[in-house]
Chain A
């Protein structure tokens, strides 16, 4: 029985390690039996919290898309930190050639504030206003055609009242455009010419100053033309500069001086609030790509706790009934199956704790399902043992044959479940991944428990196994 000794030692070491992983200090602060679970990371659907996912809209032609995603990540990190969301987790994920940014805020009871912060995150760009309209231009074919001709797009202004036809490439000169410039400073300043009004003064980072200079040269309109009116004024209207954020025109106005050093002022007869807001938009660090909210959700911690309580209760009831059922049907071997079941459950929890994998609500369902696979493995082995005994083998021989014959059955049967789990992990979104993880770990664990732990227990209890006399029809050939 040297093999059994090795198996016994391995079984004890593995379960001991699982408990070490579970009870290692530093987990959440639970009391009593809850201590066993304190090191398991809980998904937001259990612990409560908010999750918002954005798709990063990157143009096909971009050379280094992952760099853009990194930049988006940095900008969001800065913004959330600045707003006090230091506990927020920002993750990059990729699916099907698309990049996503996921923001998770544990314990948050609402995403509204965070979303507002991230929400106004469209690309900031400077463009040329070619035309304007007061009603929806998409209902007027002439205006739609004009947009095509001018290679420009109709965009609403911030209040949603007026439409502007804006073109990124200034005067249709290729590459003369300014998208996502870094603005190092922006603030409201009292307008020297107008006592009641404010202007927004801003400074562009050095690397953008040159192109901004070229743009202001092209769009420069001397002030006397603005005052004179007439045909030259009509022409000047086509040379207005627009600041666009989130596909909304935040500001449209004339360039009244060539700007060589990247320092400029926006004049728009603003009151203090408007000026502050525009400054904040400029300053907040424009994102290098547009973000499209694809999904968001939050679970109140209370609701999460409710669901966990009922689901756990259901799980424990289920386990309890299965434990009793196994003893009734299989006697001593049923007790072994019960031990195997509890062993695998704690092993699974231990692995979750050790690897930091996240337990989600579907993950609990995965654990519950693991009960099925563990019990199944034991039943396959037991039925084999019984069969061998009916054939007239000695109990020791029956056990040995049963284990060796069951190996490939268990292997094939469980591997297919793992295959399903892997695809579920690869294609799954959100909390479903958590289900796939617990399912895969659980199935591998049940294979180990069936072949190693059960073996030790069955061998040591083999004296207690009773075999019913063959029923009518006798032993099968």
Chain B
């Protein structure tokens, strides 16, 4: 039997350290936001040769004023053929008043042609494999919706757990979820991983997933509470966690295998999702065992 409750202070300290580190990273390093959050245009370029970012930048930087400050990153998957490199080029074109704008159809056509032509001059075959745009308005809207989605999901879950369990369980679950969300986002910031809409989907899924784990533990506590009056709450919670730990580990391990392989091999656009889930599964499992119950133990009513 593992002593979860006796050592709870150690784990609370570990979690606090991780949370503080995450918050510091978020506020100092910030996020590598995807184009949906920033607004602007993302060009996906596929080149039939091995070249690096500097080469692409050098070739394109005087294409239009916004290309000087473009963000160029190479996109990689484990499975990619050796003779092909892919890049994501993010630019933020501005209008005469300095506001973010989107390209007109004609401008897009021209930029595409020009890019292909410049590579051709240098003896390389390149083509534009994607051209995604998000206006400033849409970026703002997506940001708003994302915050609302996270907030309302948390509230709905608090409400649901309060009805099905006790309010204090709801608080414990929400604390664990906020813990998971902050640390997962911290990982995005720390590793400079692209935070896009798919990554946010991962965060929301993680909320559901981590909660799933937490509820299994709570459910067992609830069941034991009915049966085993008279025992100290500490032992009862500790026993409950131990009774479900095999299930938690097996479930987490199987989910982890799937999302980790997805992270290694998946195409670029769902990589941030897979990254968020991979980190989230670990953090979520940890918080379900070490945080969700131990922190609220004092207030659980028998």
Q: Which of A96, A319, A369 contacts B277 (CB 8 A)?
A: A369
Q: A387–B209 Cα gap in the complex (Å)?
A: 24
Annotate A127-167 by CB proximity to B: 1 below 8 A, 0 otherwise.
00000000000000000000000000000000000000000
Residues of A within 8 A of B93 (CB): none
- A417 in contact with B209 given A116-B105, A303-B130, A423-B153 (CB within 8 Å): yes
Residues of B within 8 A of A420 (CB): 153, 157, 204-205, 207-208, 211
Assess whether A110 is in contact with B109, with CB atoms less than 8 Å apart.
Answer: yes
Assess whether A414 is in contact with B212, with CB atoms less than 8 Å apart.
Answer: yes
Write the nearest CB–CB distance from B54 to chain A, whole angstroms.
24
Q: Which of A295, A371, A383, A430 contacts B258 (CB 8 A)?
A: A371
Assess whether B266 is in contact with A311, with CB atoms less than 8 Å apart.
Answer: yes
Assess whether B262 is in contact with A112, with CB atoms less than 8 Å apart.
Answer: no
Write the nearest CB–CB distance from A5 to chain B, whole angstroms.
30
Residues of A within 8 A of B148 (CB): 427
Assess whether B212 is in contact with A322, with CB atoms less than 8 Å apart.
Answer: no
Q: A371–B267 Cα gap in the complex (Å)?
A: 19
Answer whether residue A419 sits at the interface, using C-beta atoms and an 8 A cutoff: yes
Assess whether B105 is in contact with A114, with CB atoms less than 8 Å apart.
Answer: yes
Annotate A293-306 by CB proximity to B: 1 below 8 A, 0 otherwise.
11111111011001
Q: A99–B216 Cα gap in the complex (Å)?
A: 42
Answer whether residue A409 sits at the interface, using C-beta atoms and an 8 A cutoff: yes
- A362 in contact with B131 given A314-B265, A372-B254 (CB within 8 Å): no
Q: A310–B79 Cα gap in the complex (Å)?
A: 7
A315-371 CB contacts (< 8 Å) to partner B: 315, 317-319, 321-322, 325-326, 329, 361-362, 364-365, 368-369, 371
Q: Which of B106, B141, B267 contacts A116 (CB 8 A)?
A: B106
Could you tell me how many residues of chain A have their Cβ less than 8 Å away from some Cβ of chain B?
84
Tell me whether chain B's interface is mostly helix, strand or loop, or mixed: helix
Residues of B within 8 A of A372 (CB): 209, 251, 254-255, 258
Residues of A within 8 A of B5 (CB): none
Answer whether residue B8 sits at the interface, using C-beta atoms and an 8 A cutoff: no
* Interface-facing stretch out of B14-22, B187-195, B268-276: B268-276
Could you tell me how many residues of chain B have their Cβ less than 8 Å away from some Cβ of chain A?
76
Q: Which of B104, B204, B270 contacts A311 (CB 8 A)?
A: B270
Assess whether A311 is in contact with B201, with CB atoms less than 8 Å apart.
Answer: no
Residues of A within 8 A of B36 (CB): 295, 429
Annotate B33-45 by CB proximity to A: 1 below 8 A, 0 otherwise.
0001000000010
Write the nearest CB–CB distance from A433 to chain B, whole angstroms.
10
Assess whether B215 is in contact with A416, with CB atoms less than 8 Å apart.
Answer: yes
Answer whether residue A313 sits at the interface, using C-beta atoms and an 8 A cutoff: yes
- A409 in contact with B133 given A380-B247, A429-B142, A429-B197 (CB within 8 Å): no
Answer whether residue A376 sits at the interface, using C-beta atoms and an 8 A cutoff: yes
Answer whether residue A476 sits at the interface, using C-beta atoms and an 8 A cutoff: yes
Answer whether residue B146 sits at the interface, using C-beta atoms and an 8 A cutoff: yes
Q: A383–B141 Cα gap in the complex (Å)?
A: 45
Assess whether A292 is in contact with B135, with CB atoms less than 8 Å apart.
Answer: yes
Answer whether residue B124 sits at the interface, using C-beta atoms and an 8 A cutoff: no
Q: Which of B104, B239, B247, B274 contacts A365 (CB 8 A)?
A: B274
Assess whether B141 is in contact with A95, with CB atoms less than 8 Å apart.
Answer: yes
Q: A345–B160 Cα gap in the complex (Å)?
A: 28
A101-118 CB contacts (< 8 Å) to partner B: 110-118
Write the nearest CB–CB distance from B157 to chain A, whole angstroms.
6
Q: Which of B131, B157, B257 contacts A297 (CB 8 A)?
A: B131
Known: A420-B207, A424-B149. 10 other contacts (CB 8 A): A113-B105, A295-B133, A311-B266, A365-B266, A368-B259, A371-B258, A372-B255, A383-B246, A408-B219, A416-B208
CB-defined A-B contacts under 8 Å, sample of 23: A55-B137, A110-B109, A111-B108, A112-B108, A293-B135, A300-B129, A303-B129, A361-B270, A364-B270, A365-B201, A365-B273, A365-B277, A369-B255, A369-B258, A373-B212, A409-B216, A412-B219, A413-B216, A419-B208, A420-B207, A423-B153, A427-B146, A428-B197
